[in-house]
Chains A and B, each alone.
Chain A
Amino acid sequence: MAEPLKKKKRIDPAVLRAREERKKKKIEKQIRRLEKNSRQLKPIDELEIPPAVFDTLKQRAREPTVISHEEMEERALLLKEWSLYKMKERMNDVQLLDKMIISQQKAMDELRLESEELYQEALAMDLNVMPFTIKGPVHTPPIVNYDSPDGDYTNITKDWFQPLFVKQ
């Protein structure tokens, strides 16, 4: 049964304003807390010094080696020589790739000129090629008829897996 409608109590505007202020302050405080958290530096797993090493860091310091003036000059000249050598190597590599790309483009253009059908078939992906694995050159050639010793091989290399998104 509907009572006669209650009259809405008039709240003091000052009280209302105080309420709003408090809400705003609360949210601002939360924002400041989150920002402070993001400003903190997160530890990087790979760069963490193991605590045992960290405690003995002073003992592990080497005597600073004295490098003569001649040695320093030699090193500076070697670095310059090296950067020039590497630049030339890089230019050479880029030119090789350049040549290769042009060569393939020419072959495809000529094929297209000959027959559109053959060209389209050449464009098609070769699914037998992938997945493609190739092992690079090693320092010494494989020993012929090598008798490998018995035993298990357990790989203990650390896997530095970085997830894309880190949970805060």
Chain B
Amino acid sequence: MALLKTSHFTRILLSGGRHAGFVRPSAFNFASNASEPHISKKWDLVSSVCVERNPIITADLTDIENKMQIFLSKIELEQSKKSDHELRKERDKITVDALKKGNASEADLEQATKATAQDFEDASQDEFAKFTFASRKNDPTIDEDARNIKRHLSKHLVLLTQQKVGSDSVWLLPQSVRKEGETMRQTADRALVEAVGENFRSIVLGNAPVGFYKYKYPKDVRDKRGVEGAKVFFFKAIYQEGEASCKDFVWATKEELGKKTKQDYFKSVDQFLLF
């Protein structure tokens, strides 16, 4: 299990941090070779950006949430007092009955000709019925079109691009190798612009990376370039607006992300996805 190494930490957090010995995360060193002597092998530093399109509409309520909602509205009705509108409705009903029986006075007749509370309620209901909201359910073609930003309105989507890594084309989050003099954040910004163009606007959340992935190059590349492999640092961004001007891109749900990318790559990405 991925959290086995940090079970103590997990237990502390699960207890709501009220544990007397709450330890800050920085006390643990999660670096892979922290215990080994630092042999200077050369690694390419890569910045990758995970652009998230947040859900546009709320997700459907689950069964139990539905039941709870019905229950809560019943309780609310039972414990409430009558509103002005309800009192008016009752009074109107009494005058209408009195009129029918013929016990009405002049004042009652006058009141009956005015709009009753029921009329007001009906008019309000009609106005509400006339207004058409946009549908919560998409056309199935929109959901199936992987490049459409409006697919799966109630889900989180992640931008995936197809890039050439070595000799293969691989589906992964837009990434780019760090050039001399750049910070990792600057590399990330450049990677995004290179992948999806200038029209695409998103906010990268901070200068610090949120995830890490390491992979070794094949032996011939290692020997030719003298570089062990690449260390990928993930940055998180939130999509604002704009079109992705890229040949091969996809707005992927978490399941699609799992299917399109390599197992261990997905495992690293899954660590920092909050959905």
Kindly provide the distance from the CB of A52 to the nearest chain B CB, expressed in whole angstroms: 9
Could you tell me if A103 and B133 are in contact, using CB atoms closer than 8 angstroms?
A: no
**Which residues from B are CB-within-8-Å of A7?**
none
Given contacts A140-B133, A141-B57, 17 further A-B contacts (CB under 8 A): A78-B71, A82-B68, A91-B14, A98-B14, A103-B271, A104-B208, A104-B211, A107-B234, A109-B29, A110-B214, A110-B231, A113-B33, A113-B34, A122-B208, A122-B209, A124-B207, A144-B134
**Which residues from B are CB-within-8-Å of A111?**
184, 209, 233
8 tightest A-B CB contacts, nearest first: A106-B30, A103-B271, A109-B31, A60-B81, A107-B212, A107-B209, A140-B133, A60-B82
Cα A75 to Cα B70 with chains together (Å): 11
Could you tell me if B56 and A114 are in contact, using CB atoms closer than 8 angstroms?
A: no
**Which residues from A are CB-within-8-Å of B203?**
129, 132
- Interfacial residues, chain B to chain A (CB-CB below 8 A): 2-3, 6, 9-10, 13-14, 25-26, 28-34, 38, 43, 45, 54-59, 64, 67-68, 71, 78, 80-83, 87, 133-136, 150, 153-154, 183-185, 203-212, 214, 231, 233-234, 238, 268, 271-272, 274
Closest to B71 in A: A78
Given known A106-B30, A122-B183, contact A140–B211 (CB-CB < 8 A): no
Could you tell me if B43 and A114 are in contact, using CB atoms closer than 8 angstroms?
A: yes
Cα A167 to Cα B54 with chains together (Å): 46
Q: What are 6 A-to-B residue pairs whose CB atoms are below 8 Å?
A: A60-B87, A61-B81, A122-B207, A138-B56, A139-B58, A140-B134
**Total contacting residues, chain A, CB less than 8 A:** 53
Kindly provide the distance from the CB of B87 to the nearest chain A CB, expressed in whole angstroms: 6
A59: interface (CB < 8 Å): yes
* Tally of A-B Cβ pairs under 8 angstroms: 162
Provide the main secondary structure of the chain B interface. Answer: loop
Kindly provide the distance from the CB of A137 to the nearest chain B CB, expressed in whole angstroms: 5
Could you tell me if A81 and B78 are in contact, using CB atoms closer than 8 angstroms?
A: no
A44: interface (CB < 8 Å): no
Cross-chain contact of A65 among B78, B214, B234 (Cβ < 8 A): B78
Given known A107-B210, A123-B208, A138-B56, contact A94–B14 (CB-CB < 8 A): yes
A10: interface (CB < 8 Å): no
Cα A81 to Cα B209 with chains together (Å): 39
Closest to A91 in B: B14
Cross-chain contact of B133 among A75, A100, A126, A143 (Cβ < 8 A): A143
Could you tell me if A118 and B183 are in contact, using CB atoms closer than 8 angstroms?
A: yes
Given known A123-B208, A126-B207, A138-B56, contact A100–B274 (CB-CB < 8 A): yes
Interface string of A46-86 (1 = CB under 8 A from B): 00000001001101111001000000000100100110010
Closest to A117 in B: B183
Could you tell me if A141 and B38 are in contact, using CB atoms closer than 8 angstroms?
A: no
Given known A57-B81, A122-B207, A138-B57, contact A98–B10 (CB-CB < 8 A): yes
